Amino acid sequence: MIFLIVFGGLMLILGGFYLANSWQQYREWKGGTIIVVLSLAAVIYGVINLPAFNHNKQDSSAASSSQVTTTSGRAAFSNKANIGSGNGSASQENKEMAILRQLQKGYAKFGDVSFDSKTKTYKVTPTDDDTVNALKQLAQDPSQAEQMGWSKLTDSFKKNSKDIDKAMGTDYSISIMNPGDDSQAMYTAKNGKTTYDIANQ
């Protein structure tokens, strides 16, 4: 049940990001809402079925589990990271893959998302025709960044980087890859901060 609570909390937060992102960019809310509702239900179900909860034990474990249902998703994220930190590399890999799946859903209309375990980088490669053409032009002439609205896109990635940092710990990056050369990043954020931006080169 602990795993269900933790995983549900992780899905709840990422679902919230997906919902916000979908609403801001596409004015779509149905998919994100379904994910948030199902994740919340999983967390509540897990807490109710905890042995400590059922026997009304007032130990610290029960108090921590109960808090997941009353606090925001960010607290559940923190709980996920804290629990995972003591469970070895397998647990960390599971969290990496869980976040990868959520990013793939969130950026489904934007492009493909992959994870480079060596550099701990989530790479987003645009596939939408309009975006691909715009980014190719930007790669050739970075001075067009402002008129293209580049900062709005990079701000979104920076926020996602901050949330990944809270969920996974430090040293994880997210990059927008050059659609003309997917070995080169056009933008990278790490720990909620920009580390590379083609527009500033």
Q: How far is CA 160 from the centre of its chain?
A: 5
Q: What is the mean pLDDT of residues 105-109?
A: 91
Which contiguous run of DSSP H or E holds residue 35? Answer: helix 30-48
The rounded percent of the chain whose pLDDT value lies above 70 is 63
pLDDT value for 71: 27
Q: By C-alpha distance, which of 61, 167, 152 is closest to 122? A: 167
DSSP, collapsed to helix, strand or coil, labels residue 16 as: helix
pLDDT tens digits, residue range 43-85? Answer: 676 667 666 545 444 443 333 333 322 222 222 222 222 223 3
Q: By C-alpha distance, which of 130, 153, 126 is closest to 21? A: 153
pLDDT tens digits, residue range 137-158? Answer: 999 999 988 888 899 999 999 9
Rg (CA), the chain: 19
Whole-prediction pTM: 0.55
pLDDT value for 15: 62
Phi–psi pair at 115, nearest 5 degrees: -125, 125
pLDDT at residue 35 greater than cutoff 70 = yes
The domain ranges of the chain are 1-89, 107-201
